[in-house]
Amino acid sequence: MRPYRVRANDYSPLPIIMPTQMLVQIEEDNHWWFATRTRAILALLDKYAGEGKNGRTVLDVGAGAGNMMHNLAQYGDVVGLEYNPKPIPVAAERGFDVRQGDAADMPFTDASFDIVALLDTVEHIADETAVLNETFRVTKPGGTMVVTVPALMWLWSNNDVINLHERRYTAPELKTKLQKGGWEVPYCGYNNFLIFPLGAGMILIRKRTDKEPDMASPHFDDDAYQVEMEPASPLVNTVLEKVGLAEVAMLKRMRLPIGTSVIAIAQKPE
């Protein structure tokens, strides 16, 4: 069912819209941070791209081990692109089509994809302009891109270091850069708003005390294929996932004013 847009003074009955549900198929789906981000992405894709596959093609840029590909596949036939060779065999074992390549010089023809996902990827790449230009090039006219990035440079921490991040963003900054690349940006706001006081507080305390969690990274550990997520006890994970559910309900109705991440929807003009 296509999204139903309500116009001013339109009080006709609304059809029942079943939102796209998050699929829990791999270990990462059970972590509160992944779950919260995934539900936010699905909610915004439902609103701005529409539910269902509808014969569409989807590109996951920076797909890694395919952690998001089963959920993105609910919107069309999905292919992944990953620069680092380490996670690609894991993606293949999971049954995902992830190809090695450079996000700043993609091996795809113009206007190949209806939906592009650029999820916590562009902050790793020095030439962000090239990435935004390439995603624009491979997206079909009228197509949609969903972008997530870490927020606020003053939250820079060891997690940015082990991920080899180049930068963090504000929401206005990301929106401006997307618009300069030719994208229309109907939505750009923050994510992880409700946990922001806790998350930001922990980051600042750790920076002051120089006590950071020891997490594996493929950039520094031979045996790691992706950066390890900070573990949470079952109780803490359950509580934070419930908080994430509440936040996604808010995100569907408003732009959140602050958070540890930024999430945006960009659309290529027809």
Are 9 and 215 within 8 A, CB to CB?
no
DSSP 4-52: -PPPTT--SPPPP--PPPPP--SGGGGSHHHHHHHHHHHHHHHHHT-SS
Let me know if residue 47 belongs to a domain. yes
234-251 and 32-48 helices cross at what angle (nearest 10)? 20
Q: How many domains are contained in the chain?
A: 1
pLDDT at 8: 36
Answer yes or no: is 16 within a domain: no
1 within domain boundaries:
no
Whether the Cβ atoms of residue 171 and residue 262 lie closer than 8 Å to each other: yes
Above 70 in pLDDT, residue 1?
Answer: no
Q: Which residues share a beta bridge with 191?
A: 261
State the residue range of the domain holding 61. 27-267
pLDDT category of residue 227 using cuts at 50, 70 and 90: confident
Mean pLDDT of the 247-262 span: 95
Residue pLDDT, tens place only, 40-52: 999 999 999 999 9
Rounded distance between C-alpha atoms, residue 236 and residue 10, angstroms = 43
Q: Which residue has the higher pLDDT, 216 or 189?
A: 189
Query: Each residue of 204-228: b (16+ CB within 10 Å) or e?
Result: eeeeeeeeeeebebbeeeeebbbbe
Structure tokens at 116: 């592009």
Read off the pLDDT of each residue in 154-177 and give the average, rounded to a whole number: 96
Question: What's the whole-model pTM score?
Answer: 0.91
What's the CATH code of the domain at 91? 3.40.50.150
Say what the pLDDT of residue 74 is.
97
Is residue 13 predicted with pLDDT exceeding 60?
no
Residue 66 lies in a domain: yes
- The set of long-range contacts for 160-165, using a CB threshold of 8 Å and a minimum separation of 24, is 162/215, 162/217, 162/219, 162/220, 162/227, 163/124, 163/217, 163/219, 163/227, 164/124, 164/219, 165/123, 165/124
* Cα–Cα dist 160/260, whole Å: 12
Classify residue 9: in a domain, yes or no. no
Here the contacts of 165-170 (C-beta below 8 Å, separation 24 or greater) are 165/123, 165/124, 166/123, 166/124, 166/125, 166/126, 166/128, 167/123, 167/128, 168/123, 169/123, 169/262, 170/262
Residue 233: pLDDT above 70? yes
Residue 20 resides in a domain: no
pLDDT tens digits along 66-87: 999 999 999 999 999 999 999 9
Q: How confident is the model at residue 229 (pLDDT cuts 50, 70, 90)?
A: confident
Which SS3 state, helix, strand or coil, does residue 248 take?
helix
Amino acid at 99: R
pLDDT of 12 reads 37
Condensed to tens digits (0 to 9), the pLDDT of residues 128-138 reads 999 999 999 99
- pLDDT, residue 7, reads 35
Q: Is residue 132 part of a domain?
A: yes
Whether 150 is in a domain gets the answer yes
